[in-house]
Amino acid sequence: MIQFHRNERAASLPARLSRSWLLVSAASSEETIAAALESEADSVIIDLEDGCPPDQKEAARQHTVDMLNASASAWVRVNGNDSPYWKEDLAALNHAKGLKGVMLAMAEDPDQVTRTAMMLPAGTPVIALIETALGMVNAVAIAKAPGTFRLAFGLGDYRRDTGVSADPLALAYARSQLVIASRVGGLAGPIDGPSMGALGSDLVRDCQVTTNHGMTGKLTLEPAQIETINLALAPSADEIAWAKELLEKTEGDSVPKDGSYLPRLARARKVSDLAKTYGLWRK
């Protein structure tokens, strides 16, 4: 087995602030998984669900545990509660030292998240992947469930379940629901679904949809998308310049103290904190 190394910049970033979430199949070669861990993805998820064919799940599960017990450190997407593989996934991951957390596929009920968390070592965070109409209706309860760390949008399966098109306007309700549920549940912003095959300006446009709705992360299956996602989901140069100017005026006590001052100051401090965390403040 090869020696795995996690990107040091990404490894130090709290998962609640992760922008890019790279999914890599558990059935992939060690070299592919090693490359994913060394990439600039804020978080890496080894996929035991859709990305892993049924006839390879058992071997891929054991291989994943072996890697996590060697030198790898990553999240793992497990199969949904209704799947015959769910219990086996969790039982195996109980013995994985490098497990950072799990993403639960097809989350539709708060009890599913809580049961998943209870079957893992205490404190293991669970990302609830909302992929169906039922999951969307129960999003607030899922966000408030013990064990839920963040919500994520399973875009492809949600569209298949509901018949909704890929038009951002058609999906605006679902994205807003996840944002509101996350806020009510006291969670970090939700993770948007992937943009399959999008690069350049197309991906930038999709990321703008993500941020416009208040989502703060994005799934990807393509390493070539990581840099764009990281930049697009971080404070922009204009936002950073505005925050610097307001904070400098505040220190000099020269900013007008009208009714909008405190909200603007809070926003400037948030932009400042994020820009510093992402290494953009001095740039």
Q: With 80 as the cut, is the pLDDT of residue 44 above it? A: yes
- What confidence tens digit (pLDDT) does each residue in 188-221 have? 999 999 999 999 999 999 999 999 999 999 999 9
Tell me, what amino acid is at 80?
Answer: G
For residue 264, the model assigns a pLDDT of: 87
Among candidates 249, 186, 182, 191, which has minimal Cα distance to 219? 191
Q: With 90 as the cut, is the pLDDT of residue 283 above it? A: no
Q: With 90 as the cut, is the pLDDT of residue 250 above it? A: no
**Domain spans, the chain:** 8-232, 237-277
For residue 254, the model assigns a pLDDT of: 64
Model confidence band, residue 234 (pLDDT cutoffs 50, 70, 90): very high
Q: What mean pLDDT comes out for the span 264-273?
A: 90
Model confidence band, residue 3 (pLDDT cutoffs 50, 70, 90): confident
Phi, then psi, of 72 in degrees rounded to 5: -80, 150
Measured distance CA(116)–CA(107) in Å, rounded:
10
Q: What mean pLDDT comes out for the span 261-266?
A: 85
Model confidence band, residue 91 (pLDDT cutoffs 50, 70, 90): very high
The contacts of residue 172 (CB under 8 Å, 6+ apart) are 213
Q: With 70 as the cut, is the pLDDT of residue 23 above it? A: yes
DSSP string, 47-69: ESSTTS-GGGHHHHHHHHHHHHH
Supply the pTM of this predicted model. 0.93
Q: What mean pLDDT comes out for the span 248-262?
A: 72
Domain 8-232 falls under CATH 3.20.20.60: yes
For residue 213, the model assigns a pLDDT of: 97
Q: With 80 as the cut, is the pLDDT of residue 175 above it? A: yes
For residue 281, the model assigns a pLDDT of: 83
Among the listed ranges 80-84, 180-184, 195-199, 245-249, which one has the minimum average pLDDT value?
A: 245-249
DSSP conformation class of 154: -
Phi-psi category of 123—alpha, beta or left, where left has phi over 0 and alpha has psi -120 to 50?
left
Mean per-residue pLDDT of the chain: 94
Q: With 90 as the cut, is the pLDDT of residue 259 above it? A: no
Measured distance CA(48)–CA(116) in Å, rounded:
15
Q: With 90 as the cut, is the pLDDT of residue 261 above it? A: no
Among the listed ranges 153-167, 224-238, 266-280, which one has the minimum average pLDDT value?
A: 266-280
Q: With 90 as the cut, is the pLDDT of residue 249 above it? A: no
For residue 265, the model assigns a pLDDT of: 87
